[in-house]
Amino acid sequence: MKFSTPEGVTKVHRNQTEAKACYMNALRKVAKREDVAPAVMTIHSEPMDIDHKDIDEEMVLEEGLDLRIIGSNSLASPAEELEAFPVNFSEPTQELKVGEKLEKKMKEELKQFLRENTDIFA
């Protein structure tokens, strides 16, 4: 898992407990920063009825920050359409994707780079 720190991006490998602690800590710091305008994560047209008896203490970091609500309706999606390409021509099921809007030269260079480094990206 990668996360931001004042010194740059930090990685945590294979330790779920430590990774979760770092993620929760990063959320706390973002919520406390005054120079960042608050972001609207989701907008509901109808009121949500939350049964507060069932809230897990670990899921609530601070008052007003309930991770179940933040992630409940958010679906990740790519910023643009993606083009799949084979990483290994002898194994057609192994594919990676790149953005369709990239310039042709940049797209080909990126594909070549990803093929040469399949041990990292695939």
- Same domain flag for 116 and 63: no
22, 10 Cβ separation under 8 angstroms: yes
- The answer as to whether 77 is a domain residue is no
Predicted confidence (pLDDT) per residue in 50-69, tens digit: 555 555 555 444 555 555 55
Beta bridge partners of 2: 11
Please give the pLDDT value at position 64.
55
Has this prediction a pTM greater than 0.85? no
* Alpha carbon of residue 26 to chain centroid: 13
Per-residue CA distances from 47 to 8, 43, 44, 50 (Å) = 39, 10, 7, 9
Structural domain harbouring 33: 2-72
- The answer as to whether 116 is a domain residue is yes
Distance in angstroms (rounded) separating the CA atoms of residues 4 and 41: 20
Average pLDDT across the chain, whole number:
72
Q: What angle do CA 96, 97, 103 make, to 5 degrees?
A: 130
Predicted confidence (pLDDT) per residue in 34-53, tens digit: 555 555 555 555 555 555 55
- Same domain flag for 41 and 89: no
Residues of the chain with pLDDT under 70: 1, 3, 12-13, 15, 29-76, 121-122
